[in-house]
Chain A
Amino acid sequence: MTVLVVAEHDHRTIEGATRAAVTAAMRLGGDVHLLVAGHGCGAVAARAASVAGVAQVLVADDPVHAHPLAESLADLIAGLARNYTHVLAGATAAGKNVMPRVAALLDVAQVSDITAVICPDVFVRPVYAGNALATVKALDAIKVITVRGAAFQAAGDGGSAKLHHIPVVPSRATTRLVRQDLTVSERPELTAASIVVSGGRGLGSSENFRLIDGLADKLGAAVGASRAAVDAGYAPNDCQVGQTGKIVAPELYVAVGISGAIQHLAGMKDSKLIVAINKDPEAPIFGVADYGLVADLFEAVPQLTASV
């Protein structure tokens, strides 16, 4: 067994989802190698080398990897994969973008968004918006897997892996990055935060959504949103929690003005503690809430913000 984990990074730190993937990788047995692709990525490669449990860091430092593009990254990973029994990445937007391309280049199946490793070829993954769990055996010789970050502890530091620079793979990719519009925030990152305060359609406007921000800041929490709130423009898309948005499992999830549609629950129902504030006592969110408060959020949230 040798496992290659594809690292996601911003050239400064290793993404939490990658650390979760390393934990999943360690459950498979055998050596775990981390692949860091970038341009001028020496510093982040050194950070990768101190992730606990990693034996080796493969470094692909080339202008073609300055910004991760699926076409060039998949060619790189597929070329390396033949030396491994498993190739893993976090089930993030980046991991979900590139890994299926890798699997098809290798002519193997992919197992997406695993929440447990049963043994080296058997995994558990949620299906049907998390209303069912499938236990899946992967039959190919190389297993391509994406890992749900919320389901595995992030591997800490303390390792001292060897760095190994790998030769550049010339890229045939013609795709180019035109622009990025990334949210800049002082708040904790949604998938890494231990507390999340999330707002839904009930907030009514982006002006009102600041109530969510206020409570989140008081609690040192990340801000999340339901699809309805994002569609209505109250919050940016990267705040969306749900089946097809971010999947979180914080210590505390506070759902404000969120009805609790199937698709939203899929993104947060594994949170350790769930609080719901909604004026509709029949809202489905109360079915998963540990503490439910039937109240007008415009009164309750300011009170809550003042008391915590």
Chain B
Amino acid sequence: MKALVAVKRVIDFNVKARVKSDGSGVDLTGVKMSMNPFDEIAVEEAVRLKEAGAVAEVVAVGIGPAACQETLRTAMALGADRGVLIETAAELEPLHVAKLLKAVVAQEQPRLVLLGKQAIDGDAGQTGQMLAALLRWPQATFASKVVLSGGEAEVTREVDGGLETLALALPAVVTVDLRLNTPRYATLPNIMKAKKKPLQTIAAASLGVDLAPRTQVLKVTEPPPRAAGIKVPDVATLVAKLKNEAKVI
């Protein structure tokens, strides 16, 4: 069976985003971009499933400008067999991404779609669930363990009170969480091999999806700064301040 993994090119997780002074957005000029960390975990899981013989082919899909090809090459260096880029310069919302992915699902016919649980730029955490709804497929979000057997996926999810394990009939959509796996490093030989793997580019406009915005960002601002704090020399001083100054204990 085929697994499809969606990967997004985002600000590198080590970079603290800075807001543009005109309030129009976050300044990404010259900023290091990387694959969304959760998407790396998703690719790793798909590749492990292939190595275990549960999946025959792993296809990575990205949506965005031509620069997203880098992210797809990274996915292929991690072990994905092919890349598909849906090329667009448009600002996309999760609903648009889900609809475009639905078109790729129709083309590729995977039995499992893996996505990161959220992208660390938008922090929306919607795309996987929206795709599952559009496909009328079952979903399992925040996965910390995935076991495929007999046409089912048994997925353990991290939830607010601990863990829950669900059994879903395939085909299904799974969004992955931090502790599902630790992604491998792309080795140099695999990076070189990835350059020769097939990468298909499709124009977003050709997929017949309405990309008209459903939300409008009016402005982007910095959060209010915290007042500077102080260092205290010892525990006794800390306790005194907590009791007498801050009065929290």
Interface string of B211-238 (1 = CB under 8 A from A): 0011111111111001101111011101
B123-152 Cβ-contact flags toward A at 8 Å (1 or 0): 111111111111000111110100000000
Give A130 to B225 CA distance when docked, in angstroms.
12
B159 nearest in chain A by CB position: A93
A94–B162 Cα gap in the complex (Å)? 12
- Find chain B residues with CB under 8 A from A71 CB: 138-139
Q: Given that A132-B26, A231-B179 are known contacts, is A291 also in contact with B242, CB under 8 Å in the complex? A: yes
Which residues of chain A are near B165, meaning CB under 8 Å?
177-181
A270 to B231: give the CA distance in the assembly, Å.
19
**In the complex, A122 has a CB within 8 A of chain B:** yes
Min Cβ gap B150→A in Å is 14
Distance (whole angstroms) from the CB of B169 to the closest CB of chain A: 5
Known: A96-B125, A127-B121, A179-B165. A293 touches B160 (CB 8 A): no
Docked complex: B153-179 residues within 8 A CB-CB of A: 154, 157-169, 177-179
Asked whether B242 lies within 8 Å of A101 as measured between CB atoms, the reply is: no
Interface: B183 (CB within 8 A): no
Q: Is A237 an interface residue (CB 8 A)?
A: yes
Give chain B interface residues in 11-27, CB to chain A under 8 Å.
11, 13-14, 16-19, 26
A136 at interface by CB-CB < 8 Å: yes
The answer to whether B95 touches A104 (Cβ under 8 A) is yes
State in angstroms the CA–CA spacing of A246 and B217 once bound together: 25
Report how far A137 CA is from B218 CA in the complex, Å.
Answer: 7
CA of A251 to CA of B93, assembled, Å: 35
- A136/B216 in contact, CB under 8 A: yes
Tell me the dominant secondary structure on chain A's binding face. mixed
Q: Does B82 contact A (CB under 8 A)?
A: no
Q: Which of A92, A136, A244 contacts B160 (CB 8 A)?
A: A92
State whether B144 touches A132 (Cβ < 8 A): no
The answer to the question of A195 belonging to the interface, with a C-beta cut-off of 8 Å to chain B, is: yes
Interface assignment of B32: CB less than 8 Å from any CB of chain A: no
Task: Say whether A212 faces chain B, with CB atoms less than 8 Å apart.
Answer: no
| Contact in complex: A110, B124 (CB < 8 Å) | yes
A294-B221 Cα distance, complex, nearest whole Å: 32
- Taken together as a complex, chains A and B put the C-alpha atoms of A230 and B163 apart, in Å, by 14
Chain B, Cβ-Cβ closest to A236 = B162
Q: Among B178, B214, B223, B248, point to the contact of A252 (Cβ < 8 A).
A: B248
Say yes or no: is B195 at the interface (Cβ < 8 Å to chain A).
no
Complex Cα spacing A94 to B125, Å: 12
Q: A103-B95, A180-B162, A288-B229 are in contact. Are A140 and B214 (CB under 8 A)?
A: yes
Asked if residues B16 and A131 are in contact (CB atoms below 8 Å), the reply is yes
- Complex CA gap A112/B222 in Å reads 18
Contact A293 B234 (CB under 8 A): yes
Which of A25-33, A58-66, A168-176, A202-210 has 4 or more CB atoms under 8 Å from chain B? A168-176
- Decide if B246 is an interface residue (CB 8 Å cutoff): yes
Please state if A93 and B234 are interface contacts (CB–CB under 8 Å): no
Verify if A282 is at the interface (C-beta below 8 Å from B). no
A127 touches B122 (CB 8 A): yes
Is B241 an interface residue, CB under 8 A from the partner? yes
Q: What are 11 pairs between A and B in contact, CB < 8 Å?
A: A93-B157, A101-B132, A104-B129, A127-B123, A128-B123, A137-B216, A243-B123, A244-B177, A252-B248, A273-B246, A288-B226
